[in-house]
Structure 1
Amino acid sequence: MDIIQIVGLGLIATFLALVVKEQKPLFAFMLTVFVGITIFLFLIDEITKIIQMLEGIAEQANMNMVYLQTILKIIGIAYIAEFGAQIAKDAGQASIASKIELAGKILILVMAIPILTAVIEMVLSLLPT
């Protein structure tokens, strides 16, 4: 699915949600969530291609795959947290959205600690003793 189809689906869903929202706000919200998930499912093939490309580059660079997997997990957490926060904001729950964003940031920090530790150890090993 290319960007024109995705934008078209998004605009149609937005129009429908605006029309339906006055009569059935819950249905409009469910429509918004469904379309968001549908767009994400259409992008899974592209995400898979990106991951395979990054794995190929990491193998060519003789990079430890644990670091690449951690970075990909961090990116996944960021996108999932953003998606969840946007859904909560669409539902009028800004407070819950901010908590989702905070949880995402904390989980990203926890996932990044091993990478930060490795970078610090590498820098320290380069310094003269």
Structure 2
Amino acid sequence: MNIIKTGILGLSAVLCALLVKEQKPQFSLLISLAACILISYNAIFRLKTLSDLFESLMAYTAMKSSYFLILMKIVGISYIADVTSAICKDSGYHAIGSQIEIFAKVAVLTVSAPVMLAVFQTVTEFLA
């Protein structure tokens, strides 16, 4: 599903949810949730394609597979944090959503520490 179809799906879900919200607010939430699930499924499917591409690139380069796994963890942390933070903020819990974003940033820094260490080691070896 390309971005145009995804955009149309999202806008259609919002319009339907707004129309239904007046009569049955619980159905509005279900419409929103269904649209989020469909869009997330398509995003995850695209990540599988990206994963295959990275595996092909690793075969051509001397890149360690551990770096690839770190990159995929960072993408996963970012995606999950963004979705959960947006849900919290949309529900009116902005403070919790902001704390999720802060935790995600710390988690990304923690996960990426081995890569940063490898970069510093490479730079110091190059300068020495």
Do these two structures clear the TM 0.5 threshold for a shared fold by scoring above it?
yes
Structure 1 CA distance, aligned partners of 2:110 and 2:35?
31
Partner of 1:52: 52
Provide the rounded CA distance (Å) in 2 between the counterparts of 1:6 and 1:18: 18
Q: Say whether the 8 Å CA contact 1:33–1:87 is kept in structure 2.
A: no
Q: 1:107 to 1:86 in 2, by over 3 A?
A: same
CA distance, structure 1, for counterparts of residue 94 and residue 27 of structure 2: 20
Counterpart check, 1:73 vs 2:73: yes
Consecutive aligned runs of 4 or more in structure 1 exceeding 6 Å deviation: none
Percent identity (aligned): 34
Counterpart-to-counterpart distance in 1, 2:78 and 2:123: 27
Structure 2: stretches of 5+ with no match in the other structure = none
Q: Deviations over 1:54-104 (max 9, x none)?
A: 121122111111011101110111111111111112212211110111111
Structure 1 unaligned regions, length at least 5: none
Count of paired positions? 128
Q: Distance in 1 between matches of 2:27 and 2:105?
A: 31
What amino acid is the match of 1:122?
T
Q: CA deviation at 1:18?
A: 1.4
Match of 1:87 in 2: 87
Tell me, yes or no, if the aligned pair for 1:29 and 1:91 is still in contact at 8 Å: no
Contact 1:20/1:28 (CA < 8 Å) preserved in 2? yes
Task: Specify whether residues 72 and 2 from structure 1 end up closer, same or farther in structure 2 by C-alpha distance, changes over 3 A only.
Answer: same
- The farther-off stretch of 1-10 and 66-75 is 1-10
